[in-house]
Amino acid sequence: MTTLFTILFDGVAYGMLLFVLACGLAVTLGLMNFVNLAHGAFAMTGGYVCAVLVNNSGWPFFAALPLAFVVSAVIGVALERTLYRHLYTRSHLDQVLFTIGLTFMSVAAVDYIMGSSRIFIKLPAALEGQFDFFGVGIGRYRLMIIVICGLLTVGLQLILAKTRFGSRLRAAVDDPRAASGLGINVPQVFAFTFAFGCGLAGLGGALSAEILGLDPYFPLKFMIYFLIVVTVGGSSSITGPFLASLLLGIGDVAGKYYVPKMGPFVIYTIMIVILIWRPNGLFGRTAAR
């Protein structure tokens, strides 16, 4: 019984991590209708920033995390202003070609600068190991992931639903022409949102180095997971991707534990079943934009 809870706990932690990594993609794809396959590159950037700061410059881990967010967001906004902006009105195929190219460039660049071997981030001792909670093994690092990601999710939901910026963003997405007619600076709103999504990916990348491993191929290896989260969750809100991440995280971990031979297929099976049942994802909007 206690094992079941440990599995559940690991699954939730894994799912939360997937959510932070992928929710930026849900925002750009769902809200801005832009296919950004280079999303993982921003996650990798965050991971490497954190690793360099902690390992080489001796920063404490918790100080490096926000910086992973900031650097990824700044790079995100710079690229958005110079490159991405021109592709908003282009077809999805153009966007895919452009962003996949960007991904390959990022892989080659990181390989050149940082080398191709996997790197690790030195963690504070307080985050290592497991403790027992009524017989259930709880990993300290995974607990921290759940706390950070849980807070982020609540914060994001509040911003989107309650703040003025949130309503501006939703307005800009629903009908950009009407929104700009009402005096909303649509490009600015998009730029900010894009940067925020990249920042979240960067934070996710820094958090995931310990669990998923960090190397220059990160953006390619995990692209498929990000896309699964967004397609299963539907891209019209952040609740959808959130629940999808949890479902996939728990499904993946439990599948690998209980049926290790079939383990890697579980996540794809879940995806196929859900997409047959609801082709627009769990919370997809049926109305085409």
Contacts 24+ apart (CB under 8 A), 65-68: 65/203, 65/206, 65/207, 66/203, 68/202, 68/203, 68/205, 68/206
The reply on whether position 5 binds another protein by CB under 8 A is: no
Shortest distance (Å) from residue 284 CB to another protein: 26
The reply on whether position 114 binds another protein by CB under 8 A is: no
The reply on whether position 139 binds another protein by CB under 8 A is: yes
Q: Which is nearer to another protein, 166 or 213 (CB)?
A: 213
- Could you say which DSSP state residue 59 is in? -
Among 5, 59, 88, 141, binds another protein (CB under 8 A): 141
Q: Which is nearer to another protein, 32 or 54 (CB)?
A: 54
Among 137, 144, 165, 166, binds another protein (CB under 8 A): 137
Shortest distance (Å) from residue 57 CB to another protein: 17
- Among the listed residues 192, 275, 196, 191, the one whose alpha carbon sits nearest the alpha carbon of residue 229: 275
The reply on whether position 6 binds another protein by CB under 8 A is: yes
Among 60, 101, 124, 129, binds another protein (CB under 8 A): 129
Burial of residue 155 (CB within 10 Å: 0-12, 13-18, 19+) is exposed
Q: Which is nearer to another protein, 81 or 104 (CB)?
A: 104
The reply on whether position 50 binds another protein by CB under 8 A is: no
- Show the DSSP H helices in the chain as ranges: 2-26, 39-51, 61-82, 92-114, 140-162, 164-174, 176-181, 186-212, 218-233, 239-258, 263-277
- Among the listed residues 31, 26, 40, 42, the one whose alpha carbon sits nearest the alpha carbon of residue 78: 42
Judged by CB under 8 A, the stretch of 121-129, 145-153, 167-175, 189-197 that binds another protein is: 121-129
Residue for token pair 């990249």: 198
Among 111, 157, 170, 280, binds another protein (CB under 8 A): 111
Q: Under 8 Å CB-to-CB from 113, ≥6 apart: which residues? A: none
What track of x and - describes contact with another protein for positions 183 through 222 (by CB under 8 A)? ---------------------------xxxx-x-x---xx
Rounded-to-integer distance, Cα 157 and Cα 162, Å: 8
How many other C-beta atoms are found inside a 10 Å radius of the C-beta of residue 64?
A: 21
Q: Which is nearer to another protein, 205 or 234 (CB)?
A: 205
Taking CB under 8 A as the criterion, which residues in 248-287 touch another protein? 252-257, 260-261, 263-264
Shortest distance (Å) from residue 230 CB to another protein: 18
Q: Are strands 136-139 and 130-133 parallel, antiparallel or unpaired?
A: antiparallel
Shortest distance (Å) from residue 251 CB to another protein: 11
Shortest distance (Å) from residue 118 CB to another protein: 5
Shortest distance (Å) from residue 73 CB to another protein: 25
Q: What is the DSSP string of 99-164?
A: HHHHHHHHHHHHHHHH-SS-B-PPPPGGGSSEEEETTEEEEHHHHHHHHHHHHHHHHHHHHHHHSH
Interface ranges with another protein (CB under 8 A): 3, 6-7, 10, 14, 108, 111, 115-120, 122, 128-130, 137, 139-141, 210-213, 215, 217, 221-222, 225, 252-257, 260-261, 263-264
